[in-house]
Structure 1
Amino acid sequence: MLDKKTLSERDICTKFITPAIEKAGWDKMSQYLEEVSFTDGKIYVRGRITARGEQKRADYILYFKPNIPIAIIEAKDNRHRVGAGMQQALNYARILDIPCVFSSNGDGFLFHDRTATDGNLETELALDAFPTPEMLWEKYKTFKGIVTPEAERITIQDYYFDGSGRKPRYYQQIAINRTVEAIAKSQNRILLVMATGTGKTYTAFQIIHRLWKSGAKKRILFLADRNALIDQTRRGDFKHFRDKMTVVKQRQVDKSYEIYLALYQGLSGSTEDANIYKQFSPDFFDLIIIDECHRGSAKEDSAWREILSYYKNATHIGLTATPKETKETSNIEYFGDPVYTYSLKQGIDDGFLAPYRVIRIGLDIDLEGWRPPKGFKDKNGKVVEDRIYNRTDFDTNLVVEERRKLVVKKISEFLKGYDRFAKTIVFCCDIEHAEAMTSLLRNENADIAGENYKYVMQITGDNDEGKRELDNFINPEEKYPVIATTSELMTTGVDAQTCKVIVLDSEIKSMTKFKQIIGRGTRINEEYGKLYFTILDFRNVTDLFADKDFDGDPIRVKPVSEETDLVDIIDEEETDTTPIIDEITGAEIEIAKPAPRYPQNETSSTVQEGPREKVFVNGINVSVLVSREMYFDNQGKPITTSLKDHTKKIIHEQFASLDEFLRKWNNMEKKEALIEELQNQGVLVEALYDAVGREVDLFDLICHVAYDQPPLTRKERANNMKKRNYFTKYGEQARKVLEALLDKYADEGIENIESMEVLKVKPLTDYGSPVEIIKEFGSREKYLEALKDLEKELYKSA
């Protein structure tokens, strides 16, 4: 008779759970998946080494259609209760937007029904009573509010599959499903908020494809305000639309297509003739996707909002990583609350976005201010106004040459110690600043820039050669340019997959702009070794990480009844200077700038003609006052307490006493598992090593920081053990192996000797192959037992 208690969790799945769900009518080929990893695992940066954390993995996910997950099952072995996996399953169901949740130990199922309203939230089911697909589909429709046959027909339309194996990630799947379901229920204004680098365009493509194929939407317009966005979309995810798609160009309106891509600037102008959008009837499009909707038409009085108003009967979907909510501008007012938000923090935690290191460099004149000595003259011989100049003045009103040179020196020093060919974006105050920094960076890196000046390129709206190099900068296969200096042009719409360094030398107060800039580094490209990025911050811009709005849901700021201000505030992000080129004639299209709503008082003394002239000075001593790395907790917020206090708090939450920690440490099969567990809780292992010492064992680091124990180095621990003559109980060859492992520990740490791979490297290979070494101990089990005893003895004094 089979004893269930002796079976592993996988055996329980194979022998009991899988047969039960198949008996209920679930098709193995299309309706359920086993051991589904739906995240990639958070990336941890340890010095220059990166490691992936644990993936989130469901034992079973059940689908009504390939695009609609409707149930999740968490399995446990039979030594657990039937509902032991429910808590984990509910957490995964919440993340995956799934209504029907099951836990099983092979005896039956505990069913948690998230649609229940009658008090029967959880019920136990016999093994042979698992619900059919049709039963759970009815639950899903209730959960989603799908009540009409037409809404159901639209909802079950499949994704586009191209045979490559690519399919939407879990969060894209949720975004697509919620959008399609909202439209199926006649919602006509929809907002999707997804962090930069999470695939908004691919998500938009799948939404369009499902609605188009189902016949719910027949003519679709994709709107953007930059050439780069249209071009990336057309050549990228939208390429599958092939001959059904066209790009709208001025003076060319062909109404025979079904998918249209267009620039706001290409559809509208200052004269009625230039308003190309009016050549289409107001009801021509029934779906409009607005990319980067925080710009362009975000304001109620924007000239470009007229286009959306003209097509007011169409469904409008806004896509953005940074919804804009100010007293003047509100995405939520127009689109409503987001149907789904996937944040930067979620993307980093899931391992789909690159984490970041932040190094803040504070210059003395930035932090303390600078006041010119009496009679101090600028480079033109004019006396500099006597006042205290601070960080907001530098490079906008006052240019201190020594400051710029020092910034360039620190950037170059970092790259020389890291990777001189790491793609780097330097964000400057304006075009003049970017131009000057380009020259200084070339001089500081003359050995490379002398051979190829494209090592550093100015990529700004006024620099044609630089703009032509933008594609090469974002192309992982192109070596040059390496360093790009910019002001506004590269804040958004630039898919720089291999950007490894972002330099902030500009005053950035806008949270929207800050998020967009950080987004330039968040993409991952494992093939080219891009798994994290570094921010060099010269202006304390990264204070914005501590702002509650950095990773929170958008909150509406603009009151419904508030009168708009009499002074029109021009959004810097709406004034893209990228020229729009007619692809037929090659000529630049003139775009009329929206006029202010209210005439300005030309006689007002506060109105300044043109940009303020900068004052250039030199001969000033500038030095680095402070340079340090910022650390972040596992919620992504800057750590404001000391590193020691932060670590102590986390350790004490897990282990109330030193004895409790020692028991856990000694009982762990592999110490690396505990190290990973502590990292997941927010212990900054690499930072602790930097603070206490690289020669110290992690065990001693924790005992020292959390429990005030004097730390021993690894070599001291190893030498103490050797003095006790512990190895005499083993044969000569086995003893030599253990001594070599102990030396390996002293050099590299406990994690390295726990792996069987250590037997394949010097000096262990001197004692034979892994098989021969293990034979000296009698068996693999005996070798592992000896290794375990070595570890116990190593930490015996503790």
Structure 2
Amino acid sequence: MQKASLTEADIISKFILPAVKQAGWNDMTQIRQEVKLRDGKVIVRGQAAARRKVKSADIVLYHKPSMPLAVIEAKANKHEIGKGMQQGLDYAALLEVPFIFASNGDGFIFHDKTNPTALETTITLEDFPTPAQLWDKYCTWKGYKAEHLSVITQEYHPDSSGKSPRYYQLQAINKTVEAVAAGQDRVLLVMATGTGKTYTAFQIIWRLWKSRAKKRILFLADRNILVDQTKTNDFQPFGPAMTKVTGRTVDPAYEIHLALYQALTGPEEQQKAYKQVAPDFFDLIVVDECHRGSAAEDSAWREILEYFSGATQIGLTATPKETDEVSNTEYFGDPVYTYSLKQGIEDGFLAPYKVIRVDIDVDVQGWRPSKGQLDKAGHEIEDRIYNQKDMDRTLVIDERTELVAKTITQYLKRTDPMAKTIVFCNDIDHAERMRRALVNLNPEQVAKNDKYVMKITGDDEIGKGQLDNFINPKKAYPVIATTSELMTTGVDAKTCKLVVLDQSIQSMTKFKQIIGRGTRIDDKYNKLWFTILDFKKATELFADERFDGTPERVKQVKPEDFDTEEGLNGISEDDVDSLATDPASMFEGEDIDTSSIQEPASSYKSDAAQNNQGKGDDRDGEDKIRKYHVNGVAVTALAERVQYYDTDGKLVTESFKDYTRKALSTQFASMDEFIKRWQSAERKQAVIDELANQGVVWELLEQEVGKDMDPFDLICHVVYDQPPLTRRERAEQVKKRNYFTKYSQTAQQVLSSLLDKYADAGVQEIENRQVLKVAPFTELGRPMEIVKKGFGAPADYEKAISDLEAAIYQSAG
């Protein structure tokens, strides 16, 4: 067989792999084939979702499983030797490896980022570099020191199920381990909610612990559920070396300690359990969700980090906090690695979202009481206009609560009444009223199980007791959880499909955390995307450039803190973006209620409350804002807008037809150009797959336009506004032209049956070699017999198929 006729798989097996192994890559842990680095991005339109097809790297070479070195991208020999280079460079960018090889079996184009004077060279199959050669070049490129290699090359923990870190997790692990090995004592890692921060933290700790670079480790969190989930799940391999700190006792018999801040400290000296051990007891501290209380300078929890200041400290967060009073980057430094929500959605690891924004008349137009009007408690209502910010904060309108609950109920009934739903309310009182309204609107569901709707807030032990059931995909109930603060973070609700926002949200950090409740994907339970039902315009924050970017450092200081000789208490002027004595000045020109700007927490009590502990979760404090409660108000929804997550990470209001039209118009300038590409393709399936990779999800397009149309006609109709032709209409046109008369009787039977297959299922059926193995073709004999009797040789059969396709699309263009 000639080399030019071999498939890509043949080229790999017969030429590329032998050359690689001949160079000494014989350890199979060093060679992985078909390495899928991304999942298919999920595209959502209507109530349907589909994943894009993804390509895998043909071969990745490793020094060890934790250390990728090179990507090899192969093509069939009919292509030029360097055809796969750009694809290889794309994969190499994800893995951050410097070596890329492209080959068609004749040799290699070698792209070597460690050699800028000769970036791309041609080498023979026999000259493929050895493992030692690539590793030495890699170490020099990375700047590794010999004394650090034992830590850097320590393996991650192998999972018994075969699970290994995703490419971005491996990047985060490696970069953190490298930083610690090099002596960096403060490290920040930013990873979007749902991307596996705890699993990543486990692998970091495992490698540092196993290499004995760090012997005693403290994992700090500020919620009990976070500690328990961590101990039971990701950290389980630590086994008897691990303990959870309880009873305010630090047991030196263990090496891995998991602890709540509250278990280690408190306002009284006797509560400061961390002082039972010496400041050098821990040599590594990992701080989960470090954007919360530990970041504030005046936090009582910060004292733990300062007491163990000699330890290496790693901060994990999805939302690096930069406010007037708190700066993560000031304490931990700039992130060593960032993996954003946008990256996660593009890679297919995180769920995209659809936003339904409902504007309510009393919110948008405002409501004013009549003169002397009393509320339900008999209090005279202050005479002013109450707007959206007042709703359920200073003014409760029963009919508004009813309308929100009714909208939620109607959405669930129309889609999936058993879809896990979190309703974020303004406070505990609001969450209880919303629970009651939802119960009354769903009597059939509540009759099946009275836990269909539950209020899960910090003050309610029964509700909190149902939290585990809510986040467990195997548990059907509760279905709807009403809450305020308790479920904003630390709740791994993989199957949450509906996030309802009836809460005024001004904090970007809080908004990101709330959105993160829906971003997890669970293919097993068909959770690929989620819906945000927004009643308070909170989703306008998606348009804020800070939503998916790195927050600017905006921590403010007082002028008297400035020292002309040493800068700002040791901080350079470049590190401070703003000096202002009035916090409200930061919001000049912004549509923000400056009365809501809070002073920094100054005591343990207020700090704990800020961080949602105990009754601090969903607190309804003693200094209550006067809240008027009224009914008998006519409330209606003014408008409902549906928006989708677009390819550039923006929310757009469009159908999938609009999406397809925009995606393809950039690829084909005209319909003639598209037709030329279609007609010239040896296999139409190749064009169909090509368009799928460009973002056309055929299943969704068929649902929106029509399932009996050919992909060709779908595009001509949707993108170029051509009158649609169904497959059956195209098939009838071929038959009317007496197309088959030039063939033998057997060939006519085969081609006529293939045309029927096309009319039923599409052009893919004609091109499928296996089609001759099913009825009605089986009545004519085995596939090779059919080909020989009807067409003579396989090449003649292929020519007949190409001619048939040309006849089908004859009228096109």
TM-score (structure 1 length as normaliser): 0.87
Question: Which of 599, 605, 625 in structure 2 is aligned with 1:568?
Answer: 599
The answer to whether the 8 Å contact 1:759/1:770 transfers is no
Q: How does 1:121-520 map to 2 (within 5 A)?
A: 121-147=119-145, 149-373=146-370, 376-520=373-517
Question: Which of 665, 681, 692 in structure 1 is aligned with 2:678?
Answer: 665
Q: How does 1:748-767 map to 2 (within 5 A)?
A: 767=776
Shift in Å, 1:794? 5.0
Q: How does 1:49-64 map to 2 (within 5 A)?
A: 49-64=48-63
The answer to whether the 8 Å contact 1:455/1:482 transfers is yes
Mark the runs of 5 or more structure 1 residues left unpaired by the alignment. 581-589, 594-607
* Closer/same/farther in 2, CA of residues 131 and 197 from structure 1, 3 Å limit: same
The answer to whether the 8 Å contact 2:727/2:760 transfers is no
Q: How does 1:92-107 map to 2 (within 5 A)?
A: 92-107=91-106
For the residues of structure 1 that align with 2:636 and 2:142, how far apart are their CA atoms? 60
Shift in Å, 1:150? 1.9
Corresponding residue number in structure 2 for 1:624: 637
* Closer/same/farther in 2, CA of residues 738 and 103 from structure 1, 3 Å limit: closer
The aligned amino acid for 2:18 is: P
**Can you list the C-alpha shifts for 1:713-746, whole angstroms capped at 9, x where unaligned?**
677667767766767888796587457546535x
The answer to whether the 8 Å contact 1:144/1:181 transfers is no
Corresponding residue number in structure 1 for 2:588: none
The answer to whether the 8 Å contact 1:462/1:577 transfers is no
Shift in Å, 1:419? 1.4
For the residues of structure 1 that align with 2:777 and 2:362, how far apart are their CA atoms? 63
Q: Identify the range of structure 1 (259-268 vs 534-543) with the bigger mean alpha-carbon deviation.
A: 534-543
* Closer/same/farther in 2, CA of residues 782 and 447 from structure 1, 3 Å limit: farther
**Can you list the C-alpha shifts for 1:211-242, whole angstroms capped at 9, x where unaligned?**
11111101000000000100001101111111
The answer to whether the 8 Å contact 1:500/1:530 transfers is yes
The answer to whether the 8 Å contact 1:195/1:342 transfers is yes
Shift in Å, 1:324? 1.1
Shift in Å, 1:434? 0.9
Shift in Å, 1:680? 4.5
Say which SS state the counterpart of residue 359 (structure 2) adopts. Answer: strand
Corresponding residue number in structure 1 for 2:595: none
The aligned amino acid for 1:744 is: D
The aligned amino acid for 2:760 is: K
The answer to whether the 8 Å contact 2:191/2:340 transfers is yes
For the residues of structure 2 that align with 1:378 and 1:792, how far apart are their CA atoms? 76
Shift in Å, 1:527? 2.1
For the residues of structure 1 that align with 2:375 and 2:780, how far apart are their CA atoms? 76
Shift in Å, 1:76? 2.2
Say which SS state the counterpart of residue 631 (structure 1) adopts. Answer: strand
* Closer/same/farther in 2, CA of residues 383 and 691 from structure 1, 3 Å limit: farther
* Closer/same/farther in 2, CA of residues 162 and 646 from structure 1, 3 Å limit: closer
For the residues of structure 1 that align with 2:464 and 2:779, how far apart are their CA atoms? 56
Shift in Å, 1:246? 1.0
For the residues of structure 1 that align with 2:158 and 2:294, how far apart are their CA atoms? 33
* Closer/same/farther in 2, CA of residues 106 and 698 from structure 1, 3 Å limit: closer
The aligned amino acid for 2:600 is: I
The answer to whether the 8 Å contact 1:86/1:102 transfers is yes
Q: Identify the range of structure 1 (722-731 vs 434-443) with the bigger mean alpha-carbon deviation.
A: 722-731
For the residues of structure 2 that align with 1:698 and 1:385, how far apart are their CA atoms? 63
For the residues of structure 2 that align with 1:110 and 1:693, how far apart are their CA atoms? 46
Q: How does 1:541-690 map to 2 (within 5 A)?
A: 541-558=538-555, 560=575, 568-570=599-601, 575-579=610-614, 610-639=623-652, 648-668=661-681, 674=687, 677-678=690-691, 680-682=693-695
Corresponding residue number in structure 1 for 2:587: none
The answer to whether the 8 Å contact 1:733/1:776 transfers is no
RMSD: 3.4
For the residues of structure 2 that align with 1:228 and 1:488, how far apart are their CA atoms? 15
The answer to whether the 8 Å contact 2:112/2:119 transfers is yes
For the residues of structure 2 that align with 1:689 and 1:392, how far apart are their CA atoms? 43
The aligned amino acid for 2:610 is: T
For the residues of structure 1 that align with 2:798 and 2:40, how far apart are their CA atoms? 28
* Closer/same/farther in 2, CA of residues 757 and 411 from structure 1, 3 Å limit: farther
Shift in Å, 1:667? 4.1
The answer to whether the 8 Å contact 1:189/1:335 transfers is yes
Shift in Å, 1:182? 0.9
Q: Identify the range of structure 1 (528-537 vs 709-718) with the bigger mean alpha-carbon deviation.
A: 709-718
Q: Identify the range of structure 1 (778-787 vs 459-468) with the bigger mean alpha-carbon deviation.
A: 778-787
* Closer/same/farther in 2, CA of residues 126 and 55 from structure 1, 3 Å limit: same
For the residues of structure 1 that align with 2:84 and 2:798, how far apart are their CA atoms? 31
Shift in Å, 1:307? 0.9
The aligned amino acid for 1:132 is: T
* Closer/same/farther in 2, CA of residues 166 and 45 from structure 1, 3 Å limit: same
The answer to whether the 8 Å contact 2:216/2:284 transfers is yes
Corresponding residue number in structure 2 for 1:603: none
Shift in Å, 1:174? 1.1
Say which SS state the counterpart of residue 196 (structure 1) adopts. Answer: coil
The answer to whether the 8 Å contact 1:456/1:483 transfers is yes
* Closer/same/farther in 2, CA of residues 538 and 722 from structure 1, 3 Å limit: farther
The answer to whether the 8 Å contact 2:79/2:104 transfers is yes
Q: Identify the range of structure 1 (191-200 vs 521-530) with the bigger mean alpha-carbon deviation.
A: 521-530
Say which SS state the counterpart of residue 454 (structure 1) adopts. Answer: coil
The aligned amino acid for 2:84 is: G
**Can you list the C-alpha shifts for 1:642-693, whole angstroms capped at 9, x where unaligned?**
9877654433321111101122234456666645544544558788778777
Shift in Å, 1:509? 2.1
Corresponding residue number in structure 2 for 1:598: none
Shift in Å, 1:498? 1.5
The answer to whether the 8 Å contact 1:378/1:615 transfers is yes
Q: Identify the range of structure 1 (424-433 vs 385-394) with the bigger mean alpha-carbon deviation.
A: 385-394
Is 2:529 aligned against 1:532?
yes
Say which SS state the counterpart of residue 650 (structure 1) adopts. Answer: helix
* Closer/same/farther in 2, CA of residues 151 and 742 from structure 1, 3 Å limit: closer
The answer to whether the 8 Å contact 1:508/1:541 transfers is yes
* Closer/same/farther in 2, CA of residues 383 and 770 from structure 1, 3 Å limit: farther
The aligned amino acid for 2:197 is: K
Corresponding residue number in structure 2 for 1:35: 34
Mark the runs of 5 or more structure 2 residues left unpaired by the alignment. 557-574, 583-597
Shift in Å, 1:754? 7.2
**Can you list the C-alpha shifts for 1:493-539, whole angstroms capped at 9, x where unaligned?**
11112112211221222221122112112222222222222222222
Question: Which of 751, 760, 774 in structure 2 is aligned with 1:744?
Answer: 760
**Can you list the C-alpha shifts for 1:303-334, whole angstroms capped at 9, x where unaligned?**
21111111111111111111112232211111
The aligned amino acid for 1:568 is: E
Q: How does 1:68-87 map to 2 (within 5 A)?
A: 68-87=67-86
For the residues of structure 2 that align with 1:694 and 1:44, how far apart are their CA atoms? 18
For the residues of structure 1 that align with 2:87 and 2:668, how far apart are their CA atoms? 23
Say which SS state the counterpart of residue 492 (structure 1) adopts. Answer: coil
The answer to whether the 8 Å contact 1:727/1:738 transfers is no
For the residues of structure 2 that align with 1:238 and 1:785, how far apart are their CA atoms? 60
**Can you list the C-alpha shifts for 1:77-125, whole angstroms capped at 9, x where unaligned?**
33333333222212211111112222222232222222235x2222322
* Closer/same/farther in 2, CA of residues 630 and 757 from structure 1, 3 Å limit: farther
**Can you list the C-alpha shifts for 1:124-150, whole angstroms capped at 9, x where unaligned?**
223222222111112221222212x22
Shift in Å, 1:202? 1.1
* Closer/same/farther in 2, CA of residues 134 and 542 from structure 1, 3 Å limit: same
Q: Identify the range of structure 1 (444-453 vs 384-393) with the bigger mean alpha-carbon deviation.
A: 384-393
**Equivalences, count:** 764
Identity of aligned residues (%): 57
Is 2:9 aligned against 1:13?
no
